[in-house]
């Protein structure tokens, strides 16, 4: 059976509650997941493009390590803008069109990067690409949190990230073969990053607006239509009646940034901001700098790109490794275990010099970093109420990206001041801090309805 919209109480939130209580994920859910996989595939491919072309720019344009750090930092500045503005736009105008617009924007900016005549132009375009990339990431993970049942949203976040991460080895191996072809071989790397435009166009027709966003903005009939279709699919598959909904209160008041720093939301906002700061500093302190650091240590461009490509293979199984655990084990404690393991392996990578150890430890670091990402992508939007989910997720994620802007300069300074191994000590400390902060101060979210997690009279910790 489906549940008609019969009054204000039911209309105000029953569609969202019914969505969370579906007994399974439907064929329609799988179509949405496929679209998100495609757009994340090229988003994550594009996110790493500059790391792969940096050795070529160093060789052909004479760009210094400091110059590479400056461009990397500038791109993170763009990501901060994208995370914050993307979240605000998604709260105001909806998840669907913000997702589509941001995916189109990063694709077009990436294509333009391929025609950069100089480092300044490339730097500006990488800032603009970063705006689109991070807006798309923030809204994409919010969409999964809001449109998939509570018992399965972590698994689908893991799946979408895992498939999307195929973009990293895809781009890495593509760079491995096209960058060494000549002075302009690196330009083709940015062309491949622009293919995400195709996925963005497909979402126009096939992706509905978020049911929770529709409910929060009083568009209950549209929300009812989406959920009723999903219920019919579920009932046709299982033959079972769906459990009765529990309608949460709904409001369409405009979201304001200052609300994140009032009451119980203040501690959650500050915690997640700190988690994303240290997480981004550690993650990109390793991933974005591996090719350049290997080249600076004496490996040539082909060797550094080859080793980086081997390490990148661990990304996809890393995200998918989260699948069996992410909706079963409490997320905040699992993240602590992951971060301790990452820190230990990063130190091995930095202090042991032979190639087999570098490849094995680096592969495992890459694997676990992406497993961590699946958990953080799932966890972050869970702790904010629907009307503030976009701005809350965007702000905390964006603060991390802003820290990443300084992180590029910081890694260059650490390297030049204390040498190669000091970079990996710095990365290890960042990772351990992420795990400790969440384990001690984070709220429990695994398997819980979003409305229960964000209810102001519950601590959930």
Rounded Cα distance, 197 and 175, in Å: 20
Residue 245 lies in a domain: no
Q: So what's the pLDDT on residue 241?
A: 53
**Consecutive H or E run containing 231:** helix 220-238
d(C-alpha 387, C-alpha 443), whole Å: 19
257-276 residue pLDDT tens: 888 998 889 999 999 999 99
Tell me, what's the pLDDT at 300? 64
CA distance 80 to 292: 24
CB-side exposure of 267: number of CA atoms within 13 Å?
13
Tokens representing residue 240 in the block: 């079972």
Which among 247, 170, 257, 255 has a CA at the least distance from the CA of 212? 247
Q: Dihedral of the CA atoms 231, 236, 241, 244 (nearest 10)?
A: 0
Integer-rounded Cα Rg, in Å, for the chain is: 22
**Residue 335: predicted pLDDT:** 96
250 within some domain = no
* Measured distance CA(270)–CA(350) in Å, rounded: 31
In the prediction, which pLDDT does 255 show?
A: 65
pTM: 0.83
Q: In a structure prediction context, what are the per-residue pLDDT tens digits for the chain, which is 461 residues long?
A: 333 433 333 444 577 778 777 776 788 999 999 999 998 988 888 877 777 787 788 777 877 767 777 777 778 788 889 998 999 999 999 999 999 999 999 999 989 988 988 888 888 998 999 899 999 999 999 999 999 988 888 999 999 999 988 887 788 788 888 888 878 888 888 888 888 888 889 999 899 999 999 988 888 889 889 988 888 888 887 766 556 555 555 555 666 788 899 888 999 999 999 999 999 899 888 876 676 666 666 666 666 777 777 777 888 899 999 999 999 999 999 999 999 999 999 998 888 767 788 788 888 998 999 999 999 999 999 999 988 999 999 999 989 888 877 776 787 788 778 877 788 899 999 999 999 999 999 999 988 888 888 765 444 44
Identify the pLDDT of residue 136.
Answer: 93
User: Rounded distance, CA 274 to CA 285, Å?
Assistant: 16
Nearest Cα residue to 226 out of 3, 452, 453: 3
Q: From start to end of 308-378, where are the E strands?
A: none
236: exposed, middle or buried (Cβ count in 10 Å: 0-12, 13-18, 19+): exposed
Helical axes 331-351 vs 355-382, angle rounded to 10°: 160
According to the model, what pLDDT value does residue 189 have? 87
Instruction: Classify residue 6: in a domain, yes or no.
Output: no
pLDDT score of 145: 92
84 to each of 145, 253, 404, how far by Cα in Å? 18, 19, 15
Q: Which long-range contacts (CB under 8 A, 24 or more apart) does 337-341 make?
A: 337/435, 338/368, 338/371, 338/372, 338/375, 338/435, 339/372, 339/431, 339/432, 339/434, 339/435, 339/436, 340/431, 340/432, 340/435, 341/368
Tokens of 282: 């550690």
CA distance 333 to 312: 26
* Contact in structure between 320 and 373 (CB atoms under 8 Å): no
Q: Number of structural domains, the chain?
A: 1
The residue range of the domain holding 286 is 11-239+255-453
Question: CATH number for the domain including 208?
Answer: 1.20.1250.20
CA distance 132 to 134: 6
Domain-embedded: residue 436: yes
In a domain, 231, yes or no: yes
pLDDT in tens, 198-216: 888 999 989 999 999 998 8
């Amino acid at each position: 059976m489906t549940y008609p919209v019969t009054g204000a109480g039911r209309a105000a939130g029953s569609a969202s509650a019914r969505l969370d209580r579906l007994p399974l994920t439907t064929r329609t859910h799988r179509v949405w997941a496929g679209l998100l996989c495609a757009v994340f595939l090229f988003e994550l491919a594009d996110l790493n493009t500059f790391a792969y072309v940096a050795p070529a720019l160093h060789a052909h344009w004479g760009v210094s390590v400091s110059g590479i750090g400056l461009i990397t930092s500038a791109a993170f500045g763009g990501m901060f803008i994208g995370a914050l503005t993307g979240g605000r736009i998604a709260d105001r105008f909806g998840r669907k069109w913000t997702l589509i617009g941001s995916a189109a924007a990063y694709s077009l900016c990436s294509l333009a990067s391929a025609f950069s005549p100089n480092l300044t132009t490339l730097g500006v375009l990488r800032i603009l690409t970063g705006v689109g990339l991070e807006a798309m990431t923030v809204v994409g993970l919010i969409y999964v949190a809001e449109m998939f049942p509570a018992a399965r949203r972590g698994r689908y976040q893991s799946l979408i990230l895992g498939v999307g991460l195929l973009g990293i080895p895809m781009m890495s191996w593509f760079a491995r073969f096209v960058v060494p072809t000549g002075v302009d071989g690196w330009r083709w790397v940015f062309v491949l990053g622009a293919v995400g435009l195709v996925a963005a166009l497909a979402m126009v027709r096939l992706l509905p607006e978020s049911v929770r966003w529709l409910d929060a903005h009083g568009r209950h009939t549209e929300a009812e239509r989406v959920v009723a279709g999903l219920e019919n699919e579920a009932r046709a598959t299982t033959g079972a009646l769906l459990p009765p909904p529990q309608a949460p209160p709904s409001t369409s008041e405009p979201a304001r940034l200052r609300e994140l720093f009032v009451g119980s939301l203040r501690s959650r906002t500050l915690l997640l901001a700190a988690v994303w700061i240290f997480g981004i500093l550690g993650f990109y302190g390793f991933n974005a700098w591996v090719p350049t650091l290997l080249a600076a240590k004496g490996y040539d461009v082909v060797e550094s790109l080859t080793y980086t490509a081997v390490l990148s293979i661990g990304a996809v199984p890393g995200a998918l490794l989260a699948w069996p655990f992410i909706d079963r084990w409490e997320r905040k404690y699992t993240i602590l275990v992951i971060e301790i393991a990452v820190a230990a392996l990063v130190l091995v990578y930095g202090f042991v010099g032979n190639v087999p150890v570098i490849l094995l430890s680096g592969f495992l670091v890459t694997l676990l970093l992406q497993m961590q990402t699946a958990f953080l992508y799932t966890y972050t939007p869970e702790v904010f109420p629907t009307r503030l989910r976009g701005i809350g997720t965007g702000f905390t994620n964006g603060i991390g990206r802003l820290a990443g802007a300084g992180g590029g300069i910081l890694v260059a300074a650490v390297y030049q001041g204390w040498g190669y191994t000091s970079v990996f000590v710095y990365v290890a400390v960042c990772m351990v801090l992420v795990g400790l902060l969440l384990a001690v101060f984070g709220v429990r979210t695994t398997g819980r309805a979003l409305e229960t997690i964000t209810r102001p009279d519950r601590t959930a910790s």
